[in-house]
Structure 1
Amino acid sequence: MKTLFHTLVIMLGISSLSGQVLNTSNEQVQVALSNAQVEGSPLANFFQKRTPMMDILNALVKDDDGIVRHYVGAEVGSAYANDDFQPGQVFYNDEKLGDVHYRLNAYNDEIELKKTALDEEKPLALIKNEEVKMVTENGEIVFRTFLDDKNKSNEGYLYVLDEGEKYILYKRLYKKFSEPKPAANSMVSPIPSRFTDYVAYYYQEKEGNQIVEIPLKTNKFLKEFYVDNSKVLKEFMKSNDLDLENETDLVKILQFIAD
């Protein structure tokens, strides 16, 4: 595990914490891995002075580069899924790296971190890596590549809603910003700038790697899941008053299909 810490810190330093996913097949990573294993290596001596867990956690955040990426002053709504910093834990795979305070910028698709919830502490951004996850009171937040309803590949943060025997269910929270519009005349009001909230759901088969957006219209949903006896599923949804757009109901529906 120590070698993994070395490699991560080295490679994240080389890339200036650019947010790229670590590629362990990369030649530079392999060289760093080899060098870190050599007894007496300057790299090994350097890391002996630190706590490995704090090394990797510090490497997995990046400082603000001064670029404004979101509109702070929208008159309606917020860029954040949670405006206040909330307690959470950062994990690398199943290894806990530390306790933090976080908030999800759903407009930038970025997780901001602090050691405390104090206003005066400057937030840092968690590096985007599929092996890194946040464990929070609202569940796990993971960084994944997924296909949207137009079959276009995207990447971003997803909440893990349910992990059943056959499917993993995810939720994506995202925001769109609308510029303000002045009143066309004295008879109408101006339109304020605003953030609008959106939610999408995705599923992954346990035996596959692809994460696909779930269509929330019944006919498209049935086609996506190749349900042989759609009449049975429709009756199940009707008798239990289930709605595809309700995430609790969606969990029950997928569990029913899996069974």
Structure 2
Amino acid sequence: MKNFKSQHFFFFVMLFFFNLSFGQNDNFYTKIQEKKIRGEQYWDSFKLYEEALENAEGSPYANPDFLPGRLYKGKESVSNIMFLRYNGMSDEIEVKPTEGTTQIQTIIKDPEIFAKVGDEMYMYVESENPDENGGYFKIVKDLQVYDLVKKVKITFKEAQFAKTSYDKNTPAQFITETTYFLTDDKGTFYELPNSKAKILKVMAKKKSEVKAFMQKGNIDITKENDLSRLVTYFNSLL
């Protein structure tokens, strides 16, 4: 990964209260913040209610299940196994509640900390400008010059009821928007548009080679595996 800025979960909750540290760096603390709200109040903050959540199509989560994961600083693990999931609506990594509670806990956002959720690795990027890229990104491919990362943004669209007999009801739904980027070791992001012609502009320094690779390999840039192959090839030319 670029240089961007077997105990159970109960132990990590204790970590929050006693400020324990893991890993070899004594100055680094693995942190968990506890939101002082219960699960149903959490969704109220988004003006979402239980009935809407149950009937909506889709999910606010990349994966609704909590998966085993760890926290890393660079390539060094700084936590034991914990159960995590990424919330694409709030842009937070949630920690599985302890037995007997519904209080939501999240990992403190820190650009030095990577979170592995199942087989997926997430990094946090700070941005002072709201118009610039910031928040959690999934690392799709870790490469020598440009990494391939993606930003998942999930929004909620309320149900629409038919106004006439010719119209149809539209159920409430969570809408997922995915954007891919190249990023270098300086933390610069280059958006990869959903167009071959525009991607060639991003990869202009090797335009002819990349164009030939697209044609020969029948690359479909709307498919993540194909896009990953393309970015891997582009890196090999640099």
1:237 aligns with 2:219: no
Deviation at residue 105 of structure 1 after TM alignment: 0.9
Which residues of 2 match residues 1-259 of structure 1 at below 5 A?
Answer: 51-53=20-22, 56-57=29-30, 59-65=31-37, 66-67=41-42, 68-70=44-46, 71=48, 73-74=52-53, 75-93=56-74, 94-114=76-96, 120=101, 122-145=103-126, 152-206=131-185, 208-230=186-208, 232-258=209-235, 259=237
Deviation at residue 203 of structure 1 after TM alignment: 1.0
Cα distance in 2 between the residues matched to 1:111 and 1:252: 28
Task: Give 1 or 2 for the bigger CA radius of gyration.
Answer: 1
User: Which structure 1 segments of 5+ residues have no match?
Assistant: 1-16, 18-46
Structure 1, 63-72 or 244-253: larger mean CA deviation:
63-72
2:228 counterpart letter in structure 1: V
Equivalenced residue count is 205
Question: Compared with structure 1, are the counterparts of its residues 185 and 127 closer, same or farther at alpha carbon in structure 2 (3 Å cutoff)?
Answer: same
Deviation at residue 205 of structure 1 after TM alignment: 2.1
What is the aligned-residue identity percentage?
A: 23
1:172 counterpart letter in structure 2: K
TM-score by length of 1: 0.69
Where has structure 1 moved over 6 Å in runs of 4 or more?
none
TM-score by length of 2: 0.75
Cα distance in 1 between the residues matched to 2:67 and 2:144: 31
User: Which structure 2 segments of 5+ residues have no match?
Assistant: 1-15
Question: Compared with structure 1, are the counterparts of its residues 115 and 155 closer, same or farther at alpha carbon in structure 2 (3 Å cutoff)?
Answer: same
Give CA-to-partner distance per residue, 1:151-201, whole Å, 9 cap, x none. 930311111111112111112222121122221112322222110122111
